């Protein structure tokens, strides 16, 4: 059981900044995120795109904003459970919560802050009616352990970075790699596109374009895929062991929707007059995942919500402690790792 003061669900910019504000109040944080890396949408969807409305940054790339936040919260030593989705929540008699992920990792905290953005990112599944039957029986949407594909015949579908990168990687591991895409053009880093071109020329990757997988066949295990090349009447039947469709990820609110929280317009209703608490005391929702009159889904609003939420969380954990907010310029930043940042003292010296 992982124990912490504030359990943050979602490691996007709002979740990350919560660690800083909590840290100033000497509260420890742990973050859960379904993606394998922190940063949420900023890292997953648009790391190379600029943002122009972060106060004090005339322009910052989304990926750089995430790196800066990670640097800023480092002294407060946040814990991370990445690549796992928060699945269930249970309230214990001592008023703490236990959140369990889809992989069974348990976390306990008196405060839960949902900073889940648009939800957890789930793979987009191609529209093949029997695809569900072959999931984990030859079909996978995410590559967790590439070793599974050693000496196998693999077919990857998709035209983006992950389709290109995994085709390159598996070309050395698998017996046979086929890449199917609806266009002749691929959208990816130039380097990856060129590498796939080279591997194709060397005969290590078979490219089928413009084409689409239109059917799956097999008894207990996937055995054959039907690939239809644009312009052809009949599909080609291809014997394979594994089919890996990589069509990107789309966010879904997911299991959080069943936690008994008040939901409106795919978002969690909170009290915006006070502290962004949900209808369940001790559970807060901040950033894009919440809604209230006048809500704006902006990173800068998430930062503000995180700040107020942490003050409320502190009072909830320590109802009898007296506390007033202190400027970082005055109080400095005292990390849990023993680091200390503070404003340099003015020099007092006589000028003769």
Partner 1 sequence: MSDIKIKIKDREGVLHEVDAPTDMNMNLMEVVRSYELAPEGTIGVCGGMAMCASCQCYVISDHDLPEKSDDEDAMLAEAFYVEDNSRLGCQIHMTSDLEGLEVVLAPES
Q: Which residues bind partner 1 (CB under 8 A)?
A: 41, 45-46, 49, 118-119, 124, 126-127, 158-160, 181-183, 185, 187, 247-248, 250-251, 253, 265-267
CB of 27 to partner 1, least distance (A): 30
Q: Which helix (H) or strand (E) element contains residue 111?
A: strand 111-114
H helix or E strand, kind and range, residue 193: helix 190-201
Residue 79 CB neighbours (<10 A): 16
Give Cβ neighbours of residue 294 (< 8 Å, ≥ 6 apart).
272
**Least CB distance to partner 1 at residue 46 (A):** 6
Nearest Cα neighbor of 218 from 153, 174, 142, 141 is 153
CA distance linking residue 57 with residue 98, whole number of Å: 38
- Closest separation in Å from C-beta 259 to partner 1: 17
CA distance 332 to 349: 24
| Closer of 80 and 292 to partner 1 (Cβ) | 292
Looking at beta carbons only, is 121 or 276 nearer to partner 1? 121
Give me the sheet containing 283-285, strands edge to edge: 79-82, 29-33, 6-9, 111-114, 283-285
Q: How far is the CB of 250 from partner 1 (least distance, A)?
A: 7
130 φ, ψ to 5°?
-100, 15
- For the record, the structure tokens of 300 come out as 């800068």
Residue 225: CB minimum distance to partner 1, A: 17
């Amino acid at each position: 059981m992982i124990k912490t003061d504030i359990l943050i669900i979602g490691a996007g910019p709002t979740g990350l900044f919560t660690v800083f504000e909590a840290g100033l109040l000497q509260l420890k944080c742990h973050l859960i995120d379904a993606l394998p890396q922190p940063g949420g949408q900023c890292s997953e969807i648009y790391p190379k795109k600029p943002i122009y409305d972060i106060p004090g940054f005339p322009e910052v790339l989304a990926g750089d904003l995430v790196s800066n936040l990670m640097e800023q919260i480092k002294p407060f030593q946040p814990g991370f459970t990445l690549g796992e989705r928060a699945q269930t929540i249970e309230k214990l008699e001592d008023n703490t919560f236990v959140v369990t992920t889809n992989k069974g990792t348990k976390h306990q905290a008196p405060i839960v802050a949902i900073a889940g953005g648009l939800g957890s990112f789930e793979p987009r599944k191609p529209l093949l009616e029997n695809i569900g039957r072959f999931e984990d029986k030859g079909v996978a949407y995410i590559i967790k352990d590439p070793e599974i594909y050693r000496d196998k015949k693999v077919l990857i579908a998709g035209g983006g970075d992950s389709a290109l990168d995994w085709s390159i990687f598996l070309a050395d591991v698998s017996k046979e790699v086929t890449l199917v895409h609806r266009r002749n053009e691929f959208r990816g880093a130039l380097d990856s596109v060129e590498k796939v071109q080279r591997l194709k020329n060397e005969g290590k990757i078979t490219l089928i374009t413009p084409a689409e997988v239109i059917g799956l066949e097999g008894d207990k295990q996937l055995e054959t895929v039907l690939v239809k090349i644009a312009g052809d009447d009949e599909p080609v039947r291809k014997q394979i062991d594994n089919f890996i469709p990589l069509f990107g990820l789309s966010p879904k609110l997911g299991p959080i929707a069943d936690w008994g929280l008040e939901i409106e317009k795919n978002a969690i209703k909170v009290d915006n007059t006070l502290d962004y608490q949900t209808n369940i005391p001790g559970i807060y929702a901040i950033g894009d995942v919440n809604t209230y009159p006048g809500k704006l889904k902006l990173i800068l609003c998430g930062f503000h919500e995180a700040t107020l939420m942490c003050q409320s969380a502190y009072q909830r954990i320590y109802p009898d402690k007296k506390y007033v907010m202190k400027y970082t310029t005055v109080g400095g930043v005292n990390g849990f790792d023993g680091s200390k940042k503070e404003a340099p003292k003015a020099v007092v010296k006589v000028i003769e």
